[in-house]
C-alpha cells in the first residue's frame, strides 16, 4: 500500500555569510533525508538543535522549498504542484509549533483562532463554526467558557491545546508536531502527549513528532529516526531502537536521558564536545570527532544508512559493536 508520506533524498542548504561578512558559505541543513510514514503511524524525529529535524518538517509543509529531492503525499509528488494546486493539500498537512503563543494571534479570541481555518477552507459557516469550535475545545480538554477569551489568559499547556484544536479543525491526515512539548513542564508534557495519542486514535491521525530528547517521544512513537548534522543516522522500530541502538550517537542520546531510580542508573557515557558546524561538517562520518568507536576509516568514508537486519537502519561502519559502552541496563 502507498505510504501516506514518502520523502526521498531531500536536500536543503542555506546561504550564510562567512566570518566578518566574508564570502557566502553553504549551511547544509538537510543532507539526503529519506523516510516513509504509514497511515496512523507516529514517526519520532530526534536530534540536537541544528540537526535539520525542524527544517525537514518545514520542507514537508512547503514553508520552504528544497534544493532537490521528492516528497510524495498519498503517492503524489507535492513538489511538482503549483502553489494553487498545492493549496487544497495544505488542509491535509497541519503543523503544531513549539511555542503556541507566537503562532496564536494575541488580538483574536480563541473561538476566532480555532474557527479561522474552517472559514478559510470553506468547511463551515455562521453558527456551524461556533458549534464545531466548541466541540474541538472539548476534544482538547477545554470548554465553551474559553471561547471568548484571549491567548494571554491561558497557561502554556492550555495554549498548546488550543494550537492542537486549531490544527485539528480542518481534519488533517498528517500532523507535523515540531517540539510541541519542549517548552512545557514535565507533568504538562505528559498530559499533552497523552492527549495527542487519544486524538490520534479518534481521528486516525498520522504524526511526524519532532523532539530533541528521546524520552519525550518514547511512548508516542512507533518508529524513531535519529538525525545528526542534516542526515538520518538511525531509523528503527521504537522499541528496538531504545532496547538496542545500532548507532553510537543514539546510544549517547539514550545515556543522556536521566533515569530517576538510582538502582537502575545507566553508565553515564555522555557525548564529548560540541556538535560541529553544519557549514564545515567533518569529513567521512560526521560523528567521528565525538564517537568513542571511531577508527581511521570513519574519518574518510561516510557510512550509508543501511538495513542492519529487521528494518533497523543505521549509518555506522561498526554498528555491530554499539552497546559495549552501555552494558549495564536495568538489573
Number of residues that bind ligand SF4 (CB under 6 A): 13
Supply the DSSP string of 118-165, one letter for each residue: HHHTTS--THHHHHHHHHHHHHTT--GGGTT--GGGS-HHHHHHHHHH
Name every residue whose Cβ is closer than 8 Å to that of residue 175 and which is 6 or more positions away in sequence: 93, 94, 95, 96, 167, 205, 206, 207, 208
C-alpha 186 chain-centroid distance: 18
252 binds ligand SF4 (CB under 6 A): no
Asked whether position 293 contacts ligand SF4 by CB under 6 A, the answer is yes
313 binding ligand SF4? (CB under 6 A): no
We find the least distance from the C-beta atom of residue 316 to ligand SF4, in angstroms, to be 3
Nearer to ligand SF4, 100 or 303 (CB): 303
Contact pick of 161, 166, 288, 308 for ligand SF4 (by CB under 6 A):
288
227 binds ligand SF4 (CB under 6 A): no
Residues 179 and 46: beta-carbon distance below 8 Å: no
Identify the residue among 35, 154, 313, 318 touching ligand SF4 (CB under 6 A).
318
CA distances from 233 to 113, 228, 253, 274 (A): 39, 6, 12, 17
Q: Which of residues 183-222 bind ligand SF4 (CB under 6 A)?
A: none
Interface with ligand SF4, residue 278, by CB under 6 A: no
Decide: is 161 part of the binding site for ligand SF4 (CB under 6 A): no
How far is CA 211 from each of CA 120, 220, 261, 310, rounded to the nearest angstrom?
30, 11, 24, 25
Q: In angstroms, how far is the first alpha carbon of the chain from the final one? A: 42
| Residue number with CB closer to ligand SF4 (75 or 283) | 283
How many whole angstroms separate alpha carbon 111 and alpha carbon 132?
Answer: 10
Element (H, E) at 10: strand 5-17
Binding residues among 229-248 for ligand SF4 as defined by CB under 6 A: 247-248
Q: Which stretch binds ligand SF4 (CB under 6 A): 1-9, 68-76, 208-216, 286-294?
A: 286-294
Decide: is 316 part of the binding site for ligand SF4 (CB under 6 A): yes
Q: Which of 254, 294, 305, 313 binds ligand SF4 (CB under 6 A)?
A: 294
- Which spans of this chain sit near ligand SF4 (rule: CB under 6 A)? 247-248, 285, 287-288, 291, 293-294, 298, 303, 316-318
Amino acid at each position: 500500500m502507498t505510504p501516506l508520506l514518502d520523502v526521498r533524498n531531500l536536500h536543503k542548504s542555506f546561504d550564510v555569510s562567512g566570518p566578518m561578512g566574508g564570502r557566502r558559505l553553504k549551511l547544509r541543513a538537510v543532507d539526503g533525508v529519506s523516510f516513509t510514514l504509514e497511515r496512523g503511524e507516529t514517526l519520532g524525529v530526534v536530534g540536537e538543535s541544528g540537526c535539520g529535524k525542524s527544517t525537514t518538517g518545514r520542507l514537508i509543509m512547503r514553508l520552504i522549498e528544497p534544493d532537490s529531492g521528492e516528497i510524495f503525499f498519498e503517492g503524489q509528488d507535492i513538489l511538482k504542484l503549483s502553489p494553487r494546486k498545492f493549496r487544497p493539500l495544505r488542509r491535509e498537512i497541519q503543523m503544531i509549533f513549539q511555542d503556541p503563543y507566537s503562532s496564536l494571534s494575541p488580538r483574536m479570541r480563541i473561538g476566532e483562532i480555532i474557527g479561522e481555518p474552517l472559514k478559510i477552507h470553506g468547511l463551515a459557516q455562521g453558527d456551524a463554526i461556533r458549534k464545531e469550535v466548541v466541540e474541538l475545545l472539548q476534544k482538547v480538554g477545554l470548554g465553551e467558557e474559553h471561547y471568548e477569551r484571549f491567548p494571554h489568559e491561558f497557561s502554556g499547556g492550555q495554549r498548546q491545546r488550543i494550537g492542537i484544536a486549531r490544527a485539528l479543525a480542518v481534519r488533517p491526515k498528517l500532523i507535523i508536531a515540531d517540539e510541541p512539548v519542549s517548552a512545557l513542564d514535565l507533568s504538562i508534557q505528559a498530559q499533552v502527549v497523552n492527549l495527542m495519542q487519544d486524538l490520534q486514535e479518534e481521528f486516525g491521525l498520522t504524526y511526524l513528532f519532532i523532539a530533541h530528547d528521546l524520552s519525550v517521544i518514547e511512548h508516542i512513537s512507533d518508529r524513531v529516526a535519529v538525525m545528526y548534522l542534516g542526515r538520518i543516522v538511525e531509523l528503527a522500530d521504537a522499541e528496538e531502537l531504545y532496547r538496542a541502538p545500532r548507532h553510537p550517537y543514539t546510544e549517547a542520546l539514550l545515556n543522556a536521558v536521566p533515569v530517576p531510580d538510582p538502582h537502575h542508573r545507566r553508565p553515564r557515557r555522555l557525548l564529548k564536545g560540541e556538535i560541529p558546524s553544519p557549514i564545515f561538517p567533518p569529513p567521512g562520518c560526521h560523528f567521528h570527532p565525538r564517537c568513542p568507536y571511531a577508527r581511521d576509516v570513519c574519518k574518510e568514508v561516510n557510512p550509508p544508512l543501511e538495513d542492519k537486519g529487521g528494518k533497523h537502519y543505521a549509518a555506522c561502519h561498526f554498528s555491530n559493536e554499539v552497546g559495549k559502552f552501555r552494558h549495564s541496563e536495568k538489573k
